[in-house]
Chains A and B, each alone.
Chain A
């Protein structure tokens, strides 16, 4: 049998999950849709971003939500030279842990930077939100973080 006679097909396996957010994550996502970040106040006074539903130390409900960011500091990062189709950006970018101003925990997101030389631990970045009409209440409402004062 010639190679051309061997069949070939694209198979797609998809699970269209829809999750309930609950009051805390829901408030965080509502904030993203409104173009801002919220963190939850923990029992020790720390601000947790993204907010957890329960205090990580006492397991009690977390305290009030406070606005944080939109600027922050890169605490750790990894450069992606060859983005894959499912990555949030199709140009080279960094996955980064970012501690937003006013927060005590770091959040994973992407940094759109011209190259790895533009990033270092401690680099200040700020969120680039999508236009309001495109935001739906999702982490992807933040298109990327960009280096403060940088070219991109």
Chain B
């Protein structure tokens, strides 16, 4: 019954890919954030009870448990609250190491989010540094964080620690 295919040599490896396909919908609040990115701007939402502005908003305030219905346009600049310099190569890495991964508190927001910092030597990054978003070309904007190429220093003096100490 055996077919003569033994000239291929013995089998030594086996490909066992694992794949998960998600059908993802970000919901109303995050859709607004993503639609904002498509227009080159950061959109957040304010809690009617505590006045905190979340970006991206999940549609409700995690502290007060109430819907966040007021949309807020945030600044294109923000403050580095904390950061990490990545020196370790890993599979699938798309950015040349070393690079800086930082938490950026956008002006007008009460929640920081992660951003790539470029156009500065990695040993000059510091807490409180003022940075601004650099976007892809207008024709390349999509409803995705890929629309933000990176953040870079915007030249302003460092923010006072008191202004961001709550967000570490």
Contacts and interface: CB of A to CB of B under 8 A. Distances in A.
Contact of A30 (B1, B10, B34): B10
A10 interface: yes
Interface in B94-121: none
B11 A30 contact: yes
A25 B11 CA distance: 9
Contacts of B34: 7
B12 to A, nearest CB: 5
Interface stretch (A43-51, A75-83, A92-100, A132-140): A132-140
A36 B2 contact: yes
A9 B30 CA distance: 13
A35 interface: yes
Contact of B6 (A6, A17, A34): A34
Contacts of B23: 8, 10
A52 to B, nearest CB: 16
Contact of A1 (B11, B15, B21, B28): B28
B115 to A, nearest CB: 21
A21 interface: yes
Contacts of B15: 16-18
A117 interface: no
Interface size class of B (residues with CB under 8 A): 20 to 34
A92 B142 CA distance: 42
B163 interface: no
A34 B2 contact: yes
B124 interface: no
A5 B23 CA distance: 16
A5 B25 CA distance: 11
B24 A13 contact: no
Could you say which of B11, B16, B21, B27 has the most chain A C-beta atoms within 10 Å of its C-beta? B11
B128 to A, nearest CB: 34
Interface string B121-164: 00000000000000000000001000000000000000000000
Given A5-B31, A6-B25, A16 B10 contact: no
Interface in A1-43: 1, 5-21, 25-27, 29-30, 33-36
27 contacts: A6-B28, A7-B31, A7-B34, A7-B35, A8-B24, A10-B22, A10-B23, A12-B20, A12-B21, A15-B17, A16-B17, A17-B18, A18-B13, A18-B14, A18-B15, A19-B14, A21-B11, A21-B12, A21-B13, A25-B14, A33-B11, A34-B4, A35-B3, A35-B5, A36-B2, A135-B5, A137-B11
Given A13-B19, A25-B14, A36-B2, 4 more contacts: A13-B22, A20-B14, A30-B11, A70-B1
Nearest first, the 8 A-B pairs at minimum CB distance are: A137-B11, A132-B3, A29-B11, A11-B22, A14-B19, A7-B31, A13-B20, A30-B11
